[in-house]
Amino acid sequence: MDGFTKRETFLHFLLTSISILLIGSLPYLLFNMKAQVEVLKMIHMKTLDNTLFLYDTIVFNFQEYTLHIYQTIKLLFTGGDAEYYYRGVYRPIFPELWELFLKSMTYMILGLFFGLLLALVMTFLVMYFSRKYRALPKIILFFLESLPDIFIILIIQISIIWTYKKTGLLVFDITSTADGDPVVVPIFILSLLPAIYMNKLLLLAFEEEESRQYVEFAFSKGFSKSYILIIHILRNSILTFFNHFRSIFTFLLANLLMLEIIFNINGFMTFVYKHSVLNPEILTISLFMVFIPFFLIFTIVQWTIHRSFPSGRSTL
Amino acid sequence: MKKFWFSNRLLIAIGLMFLISLLSASMIFGFVIEQDRTPPEKLLFDENNQLIAIAPFPPSVQYPLGSDIDGNSFFLKIIDGAKYTIGLSLIIAFGRVILSFLGGYLLFLMPSQFNKRINNLSDAFHYTPTTILTYVLIAPVVLTFSWSYDLTTKIIYPVIILILVSAPVLSMYVRNELNLIYKKDYVITSKLMGANHFHLYRKHVSPFLKPKLLLMFVQQVGQALIIFAHLGLLNIFIGGTETRLMDIDIETGEPIYRHFSMSNEWSGLISQNFEYAIPFPWMILAPVTAFALAILAVNSIAYGLKGPFEHYQSKTKTTTMKETVSPVTKDKFQMIKKISS
């Protein structure tokens, strides 16, 4: 149980933060960032056209690395006036990144919510089959799970365009325009992709519970299958399921990036993608923006789950 | 029991056959077809010499996956590119397994308190999508500052980064597996009987670890393929990016560069054709479908190796004991004490 004490949680938070700092400044370790950015600025200002004479190798710049980590820490604590370089001009990071963050997180949380619902419905449907007949739905799930996310996103996008071409009916917006961002399809995709993954995890947990004795006992007492599924199995599977929740989260973040690129949404992940090469501190800042709220949520959920499962089948 | 082996082996066989045939077709293509290929046709005529289509052609019998802007068949391009993409993902997966085995063993030798902290440190990777991390580390060499690095660096460096990025998480995984195995009763018994470290590893640990590492290898091939597909969408392709000046923007005077893959490597095909996704959807669907099929094949091998039916089968398996009835006759008995009469 000691993984859930306050000291342990604090250490966890601290170490993960350190690791984020270490990751975020890595470009300064491996490249001569300052020199390279200078060259890029010269190219943007058109004082340099010929780059053939320039040559550089991968380096290990520990001094620059530690210096940049120190600067990033200072930036994080002073906040506010951080700037990023893009095509010859410096712009302030902050109101912009914050708005994009809220937009993308709305997509993500709605997607996660509907995805969870979808996964639960699918799992219940599969569980209503008897064990013998579960092979076919499982094979379909395996197939869907194996397809890469960009394949599924592109297929959905192209099929919407195709129906538009055939019938002249644009069912949903599929790309960002001046009117705004598409809403329905991205949320649908962001719920579909993790739903397949969550469904797999839930199904594993459900089947594990199903073979336990108390379930057999409940059946023998004559409770209906729906009652047992909802009251007994679902409650006991939540713990196992939650242990995998972080990987679902990582999965969803990767999906979000691909979705924003394919649907041309100007979101949080695309901002990180576009600017963090030249400004590695954007990577660090955005990682913290994702890490802090979700770490809090995870910790709170973990504590409440542990309070409601005091018997401690928590060694999973 | 026989049936379960059959279905799992079947999955492995299908996956392997697909990958091997794809790879060998790709190898043969490089040697045979490439040499006597005529320059592609940009215009397509029917038998009356009537113009029926201009490149890019949509999928048809002649062009199973459609064609690109120059009229090259996508099917052939994908066959040609398979050896680079799949070959690189095999190299990366192999590197990851070797590295994470060494890392995992090293972590295993460390005290558990240390490992807990390492675990906390590596938790940061749960909040960092691998695609973004690899992009930030690879893009400077391949895209942003591409002028200052030579070709060898551009090819080897991304592969090393792709191997290193997943090392922390995978090492933790190997370490946990090792911990589980070393806690088994027979290992402890063997240790108590005086087995040394090497003997323990060779006789008791490696038989359990090897299948896990094999499974990890197959899964990592799939992961590497997914990362390739993602990076392709982000304009990075391994195996060299060539940046060419295409056009100059009339309004702003900014030069427009486009990045070309030097081979028909699949992620390169994705990134080159992404801008045609809406007018000519097959141009992007072709390489993405190739990725999807390859990943499907890899995953079916992994699924077969994992044996998900095993769990199910062992639950329902009923062991029937054959009752052997042997007639009991009088001469089977013997008096212990012979009564002399």
| Residue B51 β-bridge partners | B45
- Residue B75, min C-alpha distance to chain A (Å): 17
Contact yes or no for B291 and A151 at CB 8 A: yes
- Indicate yes or no: CB of B145 within 8 angstroms of CB of A294: no
Residue pair B92/B159 in contact (Cβ under 8 Å)? The answer is: yes
* Cross-chain CB nearest to A273 (options B132, B148, B284): B132
CA-CA-CA-CA torsion sign (A88, A92, A98, A103): negative
Per-residue pLDDT at A238? 83
The arithmetic mean of pLDDT across residues B68-76, rounded, is 76
User: Tokens in use for A112?
Assistant: 């996660």
Neighbours of A3 (CB within 10 A): 11
* Nearest chain A residue (CA) to B137: A27
CB-nearest to A15 from B117, B230, B281 is B117
CA-nearest of A297, A95, A268, A18 to B132 is A268
pLDDT of residue B230: 93
Contact B139 A277 (CB under 8 A): yes
**What is the phi/psi pair of residue B50, to 5°?**
-90, 135
Nearest CA in chain B to A157: B278
Q: Report yes or no: B123 at the A interface, CB cutoff 8 Å.
A: yes
Give every CB contact of residue B292 below 8 A, 6+ residues apart in sequence: A146, A147, A148, A151
Residue B225 half-sphere exposure toward CB, CA atoms < 13 A: 31
> Can you read off the two tokens belonging to residue A119?
């996964």
- Residue B117 CB: number of other CB atoms within 10 A? 14
Instruction: Report chain A's terminal Cα–Cα distance, integer Å.
Output: 12
Output B148 or A153, whichever has higher pLDDT: A153
Sign of torsion over alpha carbons B193, B194, B195, B197? positive
Condensed to tens digits (0 to 9), the pLDDT of residues B82-124 reads: 988 999 999 999 999 999 999 999 999 999 889 989 988 988 8
Residue of B nearest to A264 (CA): B275
CATH fold, domain B2-38+73-311, is MetI-like fold (1.10.3720)
Q: By the CB < 8 Å criterion, does B20 face chain A?
A: no
- Alpha-helix residue ranges (DSSP H) falling in chain A: 6-24, 26-30, 33-44, 62-78, 94-128, 135-146, 149-167, 184-210, 213-220, 225-227, 235-243, 245-262, 268-275, 280-308
Percent above pLDDT 90 for chain B: 34
Would you call A285 exposed, middle or buried from its count of C-beta atoms within 10 A (0-12, 13-18, 19+)?
A: buried
Q: Which residue has the higher pLDDT, A168 or B254?
A: A168
Q: What pLDDT score was predicted for residue B323?
A: 60
Write the DSSP symbol of residue B234: T
Residue pairs between chains A and B whose CB atoms are closer than 8 Å: 159
Residue type, B246: M
B243 interface with A at CB cutoff 8 Å: no
Low-confidence ranges of chain A (pLDDT < 70): 1-4, 79-80, 171, 173-179, 309-316
Report the run of H or E that residue B280 belongs to, with start and end. none
| Residue A131 to chain B, least CA–CA distance (Å) | 9
Please answer whether residues B117 and A11 qualify as being in contact, where contact means their C-beta atoms are separated by less than 8 angstroms. Answer: yes
CB nearest B148 (choices: A54, A287, A291): A54
Of B128, B135, B148, the CB nearest to A56: B148
Sign, Cα dihedral of B219, B221, B227, B229: negative
> What does the block give as tokens for B44?
């397509």
A31–B226 C-beta distance less than 8 A = no
Question: Which range has highest mean pLDDT (A124-133, B62-71, B206-215)?
Answer: B206-215
Chain-centroid distance of CA A83 in Å reads 25
Whether pLDDT at B128 is above 80 = yes
Of A27, A154, A294, the CB nearest to B284: A154
Give the residue extent of every domain in chain B. Answer: 2-38+73-311
Confidence of residue B309 (pLDDT cuts 50, 70, 90): very low
Decide: B232 and B287 in contact? Cβ < 8 Å.
Answer: yes
Give chain B positions within 8 Å (CB) of A269: 129, 132
Task: Write the residue in A19, A51, A154 that is nearest to B285 by C-beta.
Answer: A154
Name the band, by pLDDT with cuts 50, 70 and 90, for residue B60. Answer: confident
* pLDDT confidence band for B37 (50 / 70 / 90): low
Residue B316: predicted pLDDT: 43
Q: Residues A158, A161, A163, A169: what is their CA dihedral angle, to the nearest 10 degrees?
A: 160
CB within 8 Å: B117 and A11: yes
Residues A197-236 have pLDDT tens digits of 999 999 989 988 888 898 989 989 999 888 998 888 888 8
Measured between CB atoms, does B233 come within 8 Å of chain A?
A: yes
CB B286 within 8 A of CB B269: yes
**Residue B318 — very low, low, confident or very high, per pLDDT cuts 50/70/90?**
very low
